[in-house]
Structure 1
């Protein structure tokens, strides 16, 4: 759904919830007329997502900051310990949120409130719709344990076995479209969170090393969408700079426990 394609009926032509709902498929319409099954499975989920996203886009002053990260060492280490690139990104985000706790905030009753626990939501697209399962209290999880929890949540999302508590109380969201070949994009913030991280694909690019010599390196672009009521440009830039440091020296994210579990 593209909000730009929806004709708004609200004040000044603004898009309101009723406009969004009119664009959603309803059971017993086109699918049944074509001899197929009623499209019930994703209607409620899509309506809920639409409601949240319209509210977010209309009421949160978004701004966007992008950084390019050399993933050479992440790719090397992930093969050694058997975790995914996304696991490293989640681990780097968790560590960075500890150093920049204001990014791990919620906008509540007109003010920013820092959250003590780091609970990262993962955007998981399934044939039932988009889910946001949450890795709870992940600020101090070893990389391997974080990887196992992320895989369990994603598997249960695809099987339709997530519980309500699995998708509640996220403090920060990561949306990764790299597996779809998307180089970079800007995600919409999930209220009341302060920010969401959009992750593109890892792609070989020409880089200049410390000796000013050109070479090819696997590069990923990370884009932080931030709520300007809570964060300013410097906050976003500093958070992404910390993430870049962790991902370009990923040994800092690996513990002895991670290596021992692989063995």
Structure 2
């Protein structure tokens, strides 16, 4: 029987997404676990992996087309089925859609030929390849595609090319505004004057989908989730020494953040009440520790999730983080890699930030903000003043899920492991 595949909710709270690239065409045989498409959300491009098998009978949306989550995007058929079975399945589901224009780009010999509009923007006499999504974003930003140079395959104009152009344009507009504000002896100008009497130049940078999503999601989190914060100063001299010894023989160098992730996971095992999320009418507690890692990408932030961190060796955690970060920056994360997790870690220590507080990413109930390891004066248990390397961490917690005592127990468990790092390796 024909099976309808619908647009997935690749990120929690996502209302719509676009098929950036179809990896199949009409008549292709799709195996379970194969890549069906690349889906672009406001925050990332993720691979949509097929959860079933079949033959592609009809593509229902075109590349670049925005589709609400849950709407049909493709129909799979079994051997011997065709348009009649597809139409019947769509009718039974109450769907009245037609094949997307150009969706049958790789039609099988038995499929009817469908005219395929070329995904190009033509600026005579050069033929410029550009995705429909980038074309729409360029139109919204009033950008002539003829001004862009494509860095994608075969010179294809991709999203990063447009964003780079917008950044350069914004910088140029800012310079122009500043120059225009300077009076010329030959032609005196009437400068724009602020309320304080200063000459002011500025430029409005358009919001892209990622920045809008971040703004909406974090505003919702901060306004609807009751945050509270706990801070601890962790002495990390022993951890840094252990890391240096590990890296002397390790095939892959491990980072301080890798130790932080393992310590956080061990603390969640010790205090299982903290390994929970808000589930509207219940609190869901997990028996496995999955932790999201904040990764800075062009124009924003994404949070891929590490699985089963507590039972994963340090070297494998390090390799997984590096792989996820690299693919996040390249826009190649898969759908399941952005889902789940009860806890998150955000580390700005590499930028020299001493301490900060992070905003929760619902439904996760905790996020640990990690600052830089710095030399500071400390007083030990014998009241002796000395110098130690100290790292400040701040836990942001959802008070609907975690009470202060539970959050404090978790933070103490984390601090013990950071200050006694051999316990992380056991």
Are the equivalent residues in 1 in contact too, given 2:238–2:420 (CA < 8 A)?
A: yes
Q: What TM-score results when the alignment is normalised by the length of structure 2?
A: 0.51
Aligned equivalent of 1:75, options 205, 225, 240: 240
Instruction: For residue 27 of structure 1, report the CA deviation from its aligned partner.
Output: 4.4
Q: Distance in 2 between matches of 1:140 and 1:200?
A: 25
Choose 1 or 2 for highest CA Rg.
Answer: 2
Specify whether residues 47 and 210 from structure 1 end up closer, same or farther in structure 2 by C-alpha distance, changes over 3 A only. same
Q: Is 1:49 the equivalent of 2:214?
A: yes
- Corresponding residue for 1:39? 163
Q: Distance in 2 between matches of 1:253 and 1:31?
A: 53
> RMSD across aligned C-alpha pairs, in angstroms?
2.2
Instruction: For residue 49 of structure 1, report the CA deviation from its aligned partner.
Output: 2.0
- Corresponding residue for 1:61? 226
Instruction: For residue 153 of structure 1, report the CA deviation from its aligned partner.
Output: 1.0
1:88-103 counterparts in 2 under 5 A? Answer: 88-103=259-274
Q: Distance in 1 between matches of 2:408 and 2:361?
A: 20
1:88-127 counterparts in 2 under 5 A? Answer: 88-127=259-298
Q: Distance in 2 between matches of 1:39 and 1:31?
A: 13
- Corresponding residue for 1:15? none
Instruction: For residue 159 of structure 1, report the CA deviation from its aligned partner.
Output: 2.2
Q: Is 1:187 the equivalent of 2:358?
A: yes
- Corresponding residue for 1:172? 343
Aligned equivalent of 1:143, options 306, 314, 337: 314
SS of 1:229's equivalent in the other structure is coil
Specify whether residues 219 and 108 from structure 1 end up closer, same or farther in structure 2 by C-alpha distance, changes over 3 A only. same
Aligned equivalent of 2:256, options 73, 79, 85: 85
Q: Distance in 2 between matches of 1:226 and 1:241?
A: 14
Are the equivalent residues in 1 in contact too, given 2:261–2:309 (CA < 8 A)?
A: no
Q: What TM-score results when the alignment is normalised by the length of structure 1?
A: 0.81
Are the equivalent residues in 2 in contact too, given 1:206–1:214 (CA < 8 A)?
A: yes
Instruction: For residue 198 of structure 1, report the CA deviation from its aligned partner.
Output: 0.6
Deviations 1:121-162 (A, max 9, x none): 000002252110111121211111111111111121122221
Are the equivalent residues in 2 in contact too, given 1:31–1:38 (CA < 8 A)?
A: no
Specify whether residues 128 and 160 from structure 1 end up closer, same or farther in structure 2 by C-alpha distance, changes over 3 A only. farther
Are the equivalent residues in 1 in contact too, given 2:211–2:299 (CA < 8 A)?
A: no
Which consecutive unaligned segments of at least 5 residues does structure 2 have?
A: 1-41, 43-136, 149-160, 167-206, 248-253
Instruction: For residue 29 of structure 1, report the CA deviation from its aligned partner.
Output: 6.5
Query: 143-152 or 60-69: which moved more?
Result: 143-152
- Corresponding residue for 1:12? none
- Corresponding residue for 2:333? 162
- Corresponding residue for 2:22? none
Q: Distance in 1 between matches of 2:347 and 2:382?
A: 33
Instruction: For residue 45 of structure 1, report the CA deviation from its aligned partner.
Output: 2.1
Specify whether residues 180 and 30 from structure 1 end up closer, same or farther in structure 2 by C-alpha distance, changes over 3 A only. farther
Instruction: For residue 108 of structure 1, report the CA deviation from its aligned partner.
Output: 0.7
Deviant stretches of 4+, over 3 Å? 26-33, 35-42
Instruction: For residue 30 of structure 1, report the CA deviation from its aligned partner.
Output: 6.5
Question: Whose relative contact order is higher, 1 or 2, with alpha carbons under 8 Å and at least 6 apart?
Answer: 1
- Corresponding residue for 1:241? 412
- Corresponding residue for 1:5? none
- Corresponding residue for 1:218? 389
Are the equivalent residues in 2 in contact too, given 1:28–1:38 (CA < 8 A)?
A: no
Q: Distance in 2 between matches of 1:185 and 1:110?
A: 31
